[in-house]
Amino acid sequence: MLGSCLVSAIEIVDLTKDFGSIRALDLLTLNVGSGQIFGLIGPNGAGKTTTLRIVSTLLLPSSGTVKVSGLDVVRDAAEVRKIITYLPEEAGAYRNLSGWEYLEFMARFRTESKKETHEMVQEAAGICGLGERLRDRAKTYSKGMKRRLLVARALMAKPKLAILDEPTSGLDVMHSYHVREIIKRYVKEHGVTVLLSSHNMLEVEHLCDQVALVNKGKVVAEGRPQELKDKFGSANLEEVFVKVVGFA
Amino acid sequence: MLKGFGNILVKELKELMRDPKILLGMIIVPLIMFPVLGAVMSFSVESAAEQARKASVLVINNDGENSSDAFIRYLNSSVKVFVVNNTLPAEAVSSGLLSKYNTTQLIEIPAGFSANMTRHFGGDTNVTAYVKFYSVFSGAGILEGIGSSMIDDLVAGFNRYYAPNIVYTYSSSIIKGEIKEGVNPRVLSTLMLSQAIAMPITIMILLTYSMQIAATSVAMEKEEKTLETLLTLPMDRFAILMGKLSGSIVVAGIGAVTYMVGFNYYMGSFGALGSAGSNLDLVSLGLVPSLLGYVLLGISLFVTLLSALALAVILSAFAEDVRGAQSLVGYVYPFLFVPSLLLMYVDVNTLPLAFKIALYAIPYSHPIIASKAVTMGDYWTAGLGIIYVTAFTLVIMYLASRLFATEKILTMKLKFKGLRKRQKTSAEEP
């Protein structure tokens, strides 16, 4: 898998983002290889979600550059949107649409072909594993079911880059496991690059090829999970996190 | 008492009362809005009453004898009277005498009036006299009938002064510059009452509903974070805005039609009562808008609806959730309610200049003004209103589209979060 990392899926150079007087990102620099699962970890307010939102063209950088597959997220935003999918943290679905209708609605933005739309939705149905419940309205879904639906939506289009903000947030052990397996399988089968953020260190350790530890808008440590553990003499990423970020 | 109820109640009250949106929307705004609405109502009624007090009447004296002079003197004690001798009412109307004397009421004292009075007082009590009364119908609103009521009262007073039932009034209306013999102004204004009430209320409700729908739609997207997903999809962001506006228009339109059907049915029962025995046909009187009138009214309503929806979308972009969006949209409601209520009662042309300018400046007044104008065949007023509202709508639509094209649709919310963060000095993710 690492052999496919020669081409950068994401290049972030000296990225800053200010919200009024608050500096959310401070000269953040990152490079994500193609076909990788790249994890951003850090405390609340570190700048993870802001980074994901800029990469997904939702927010504009205050300065610095961000490129996705060589396309600038500001200048080529429309082109970038064609090759990415974004899953916001704690996102919902349309309450009065069924899961199936929601997936169809989303698929139609990716293709005009009815056949391809149907194939995409079938794919998503397989990913989320909701079965007949897909015919029910989303408002009747549990949080776990909703999250599985949304992860399926983000992956069904087989994007070049899937940006997943806390993909297993609020899920129980079984659902989290299921979602992680899906992500792994998709990267392997379809060469999708995944940029995700997570608070779950176990998840990051098992899922990600590469990890960046973000604190106060900067990357303070970066590497493969094993490299980071070795570097900081820690048994797991949680210990690395505590050593690097501390309790400040 | 339920266990824990008091505790929950105190918590709820604290949470609600500390929410500045609720404080503004539920307490401060009504404290301002109701006095304003009260002032509008009071002004409308006062204005109509004042008009009645200052009312003037053009009297055509085709009799020229003692009794007609006495009748004119009697009228003069209550209203300002302009007298013209020996002419026909139709000539007076066509030659613009009513405009010249700035009045909408015309009384003709026919030849033989004094002779009949003399015969009556001479013992032939079967002989009575009559005057002909004509009132200009302007589509002013609920208080339209005040002028004809005043004339009826004056004639009744004259009868009390001389002898019971000596003078009768034959009332007619002047519609769009033409005398419609036998069309009683009072009956006509009763018949037109449903229109005077129905249009402003329907427009008010249509705009209110639509704005709520649009604001809720955007706020739901923000609350559920589905908007973030939409904004990262390969699509024109203007399509999101237009989709939202169109969806709201369709739902609001269905609601408006349903409402109109129900409301017309309701008002129809009053109309039937008012027209019983009168045999008035509004179509033949020209008091139903023409096809062009309906088209202009439809365009006026559409552009106003569009501007209201776009404004609701912009306002809801400032809110974090549905409740916040609805509170923000609530601040626009006085601009919907005040023109609707005011125009139900008075004719815009009778208002003082400052009021008139303020009313014309509010885009939501224009469909109501247009509805009256097209009924009276005044297409210019409706057309100019459409041009103004269209320009206003374009500005609002441009602002709304800019909002969707940039990150502001998200950052406005983020700024609120940032503000709260600074207050709490917490370190939450922006």
Percent of chain B with pLDDT over 70: 74
Looking at B167, B183, B199, the residue that finishes a domain is B183
- B349 Cα distance to chain centroid: 13
Give residue B286's pLDDT.
Answer: 72
d(Cα B128, Cα B115) in Å, to the nearest integer? 10
DSSP-derived 3-state class of residue B204: helix
Q: Please check whether residues B202 and B277 belong to one and the same domain.
A: yes
Give the C-alpha distances (Å, rounded to integers) separating B122 from B32, B115, B116, B119, B125: 65, 10, 10, 5, 8
Residue B7 lies in a domain: no
Looking at B183, B216, B241, the residue that finishes a domain is B183
Give the C-alpha distances (Å, rounded to integers) separating A8 from A37, A56, A68, A212, B58: 13, 16, 8, 16, 90
* Token code pair at residue B30: 């009504």
C-beta atoms of B429 and A88 within 8 A: no
Of A19, A48, A109, the CB nearest to B234: A109
Listed residue (B356, B374, B335, B420) closest to B19, CA to CA? B420
Percent of chain A with pLDDT over 70: 96
Give residue A1's pLDDT.
Answer: 39
Which residues on chain B are in Cβ contact (under 8 Å) with A43? Answer: 427
Give residue B28's pLDDT.
Answer: 64
Which strands sit side by side in the sheet containing B129-137, from one edge to the other? B80-85, B56-61, B105-109, B129-137, B167-175, B178-180
Which residues on chain A are in Cβ contact (under 8 Å) with B415? Answer: 19-20
Higher pLDDT among residues A105 and B224, named by residue: A105
d(Cα A21, Cα A103) in Å, to the nearest integer? 40
Percent of chain B with pLDDT over 90: 7
Q: Please check whether residues B264 and B201 belong to one and the same domain.
A: yes
| Number of structural domains chain B divides into | 2
Q: Please check whether residues B287 and B409 belong to one and the same domain.
A: yes
- Which of the residue ranges B67-71, B225-229, B397-401, B418-422 would you say has the lowest mean pLDDT? B418-422
Percent of chain A with pLDDT over 90: 53
Average pLDDT over residues A201-208: 87
Looking at B183, B211, B229, the residue that finishes a domain is B183
Q: Please check whether residues B220 and B117 belong to one and the same domain.
A: no
Listed residue (B385, B212, B202) closest to B311, CA to CA? B212
C-beta atoms of A22 and B234 within 8 A: no
Which residues on chain B are in Cβ contact (under 8 Å) with A56? Answer: 232
pLDDT for B22 beyond 80: no
Average pLDDT over residues A123-148: 89
Question: From the candidates A16, A18, A19, which should be mutated to test the interface with B, based on the most B CB atoms within 10 A?
Answer: A19
**How confident is the model over B94-139, as pLDDT tens digits?**
888 888 888 888 999 999 999 988 888 888 888 888 888 888 887 7
C-beta atoms of B427 and A86 within 8 A: no
Give residue B393's pLDDT.
Answer: 87
Given phi > 0 = left and psi -120 to 50 = alpha, else beta, which region is B426?
A: beta
B410 touches chain A (CB under 8 A): yes
Average pLDDT over residues B327-341: 85
Q: Please check whether residues B353 and B263 belong to one and the same domain.
A: yes
Q: Please check whether residues B171 and B198 belong to one and the same domain.
A: no
Q: Please check whether residues B90 and B58 belong to one and the same domain.
A: yes
CATH number at B118 reads: 3.40.1710.10
Give residue B417's pLDDT.
Answer: 46
- Which of the residue ranges A94-98, B40-44, B71-75, B408-412 would you say has the lowest mean pLDDT? B40-44
**How confident is the model over B349-374, as pLDDT tens digits?**
777 888 889 889 999 999 888 888 88
* Type of residue found at B409: I
pLDDT for A37 beyond 90: yes
Decide: B219 and B322 in contact? Cβ < 8 Å: yes
Q: Please check whether residues B366 and B393 belong to one and the same domain.
A: yes
* Token code pair at residue B103: 């009045």
**pLDDT band per the 50, 70, 90 thresholds, residue B318:** confident
CA distance A234 to chain B (A): 26
**pLDDT band per the 50, 70, 90 thresholds, residue A39:** very high
Please report the domains of chain A, with CATH numbers, ordered by start residue. 2-245 (3.40.50.300)
Give residue A47's pLDDT.
Answer: 92
Give A8's strand partners: A33
Q: Is the C-alpha dihedral spanning B274, B278, B282, B285 positive or negative?
A: negative
Residue B31 lies in a domain: no
Give residue A12's pLDDT.
Answer: 95
Which residues on chain A are in Cβ contact (under 8 Å) with B411? Answer: 19, 59
Return the residue matching tokens 């009364």.
B133
Q: Please check whether residues B159 and B207 belong to one and the same domain.
A: no
- Per-residue three-class SS string for B79-143: CEEEEEECCCHHHHHHCCHHHHCCCCEEEEECCCHHHHHHHHHCCCCCCCEEEEEEEEECCCCHH
Give residue B261's pLDDT.
Answer: 67
Give residue B45's pLDDT.
Answer: 65
Q: Please check whether residues B204 and B127 belong to one and the same domain.
A: no
Listed residue (B41, B58, B35, B293) closest to B143, CA to CA? B41
Give residue A248's pLDDT.
Answer: 45
Q: Please check whether residues B162 and B194 belong to one and the same domain.
A: no
Residue B271 lies in a domain: yes
Rg (CA), chain A: 18
pLDDT for B414 beyond 60: no
DSSP-derived 3-state class of residue A200: coil
Residue B307 lies in a domain: yes
Q: Say how many CB pairs under 8 Å bridge A and B.
A: 84
Range of the domain at B100: 49-183
Which residues on chain B are in Cβ contact (under 8 Å) with A19? Answer: 411, 414-415, 418, 430
Most confident of B14-18, B53-57, B273-277: B53-57
d(Cα B217, Cα B310) in Å, to the nearest integer? 12
Residue B192 lies in a domain: yes
Q: Please check whether residues B207 and B177 belong to one and the same domain.
A: no
Q: What is the dihedral of CA B290, B291, B296, B300, to 10 degrees?
A: 100
Give residue B425's pLDDT.
Answer: 39
A22: nearest CA partner in chain B = B418
Residue B9 lies in a domain: no
Residue B67 lies in a domain: yes
